[in-house]
């Protein structure tokens, strides 16, 4: 009888240990080839002046690839974390069609583009892109172009949506992110 109880205890302990090991295993990291690049600047490189307030203030051309399966739309936020008063938002765009793999140079600064892309409000208080315009003599600033692959389309009003609203709406819907950084300053 003792042998049977001992064998049952060993079996129970073995099953429990195996179950614990399975519970504690971290989920495998998803590999993604989701990438964004600037058409006219290298990652970590300088933004040409035509994309800044010193010149034409055009949005730079961007291209991407590798959005994961299940992507229904894309969202873009461009921020300058080096601004004197904290993050300065230069561009908020969302509901970019999943079939799209780029934004051309000089996207019109309107709330809704013909392809359905919506542009929210930047820190300048306007829809669309507002180029880098750091204070003179304050050094080089970094501009993070953050692209999100999203598993839904978002029901937001572009005339009142800022980066905070967009980030909240994206919670729980992001499949992958990609980023490219440009620099500009005086």
**pLDDT tens digits for range 84-132:** 988 999 999 999 999 999 999 999 999 999 999 999 999 999 999 999 9
The residue with tokens 């409000």 is 121
Cβ neighbours of residue 50 closer than 8 Å, sequence gap 6 or more: 56, 58
Q: Given the DSSP bridges, would you call strands 174-185 and 45-46 parallel, antiparallel or unpaired?
A: parallel
Residue 79 clears pLDDT 90, i.e. is over it = yes
> Is position 20 within any domain?
no
Choose between 6 and 178: higher pLDDT. Answer: 178
> Is position 84 within any domain?
yes
> Is position 160 within any domain?
yes
Mean pLDDT computed over 49-75: 97
> Is position 177 within any domain?
yes
Which CATH number fits the domain that encloses residue 84? 3.90.280.10
Domain containing 150: what range? 30-185
> Is position 8 within any domain?
no
Residue 162 clears pLDDT 70, i.e. is over it = yes
> Is position 128 within any domain?
yes
Length of the chain: 186
> Is position 38 within any domain?
yes
Q: Which residues pair with 78 in a beta bridge?
A: 91, 145
Model pTM?
A: 0.82
Choose between 102 and 16: higher pLDDT. Answer: 102
> Is position 56 within any domain?
yes
Provide the domain count of the chain.
1
Which runs of consecutive H residues, i.e. helices, occur in the chain? 2-24, 163-170
Task: Return phi, psi of residue 167, to 5°.
Answer: -60, -40
């Amino acid at each position: 009888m003792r042998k049977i109880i001992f064998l049952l205890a060993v079996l129970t302990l073995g099953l429990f240990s195996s179950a614990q090991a399975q519970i504690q295993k971290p989920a495998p990291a998803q590999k993604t080839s989701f990438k964004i690049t600037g058409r006219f600047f290298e990652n970590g490189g300088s933004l040409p002046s035509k994309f800044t307030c010193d010149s034409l203030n055009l949005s730079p051309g961007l291209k991407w690839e590798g959005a994961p399966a299940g992507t229904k739309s894309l969202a873009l936020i461009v921020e300058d974390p080096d601004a004197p008063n904290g993050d300065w938002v230069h561009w908020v765009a969302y509901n970019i069609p999943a079939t799209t793999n780029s934004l051309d140079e000089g996207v019109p600064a309107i709330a809704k583009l013909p392809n359905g892309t919506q542009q929210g409000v930047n820190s300048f208080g306007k829809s669309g892109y507002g180029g880098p315009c750091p204070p003179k003599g304050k050094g080089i600033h970094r501009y993070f172009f953050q692209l999100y692959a999203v598993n839904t389309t978002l029901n937001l009003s572009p005339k009142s949506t800022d980066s905070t609203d967009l980030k909240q709406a994206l919670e729980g819907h992001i499949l992958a992110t990609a980023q490219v950084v440009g620099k500009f300053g005086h």
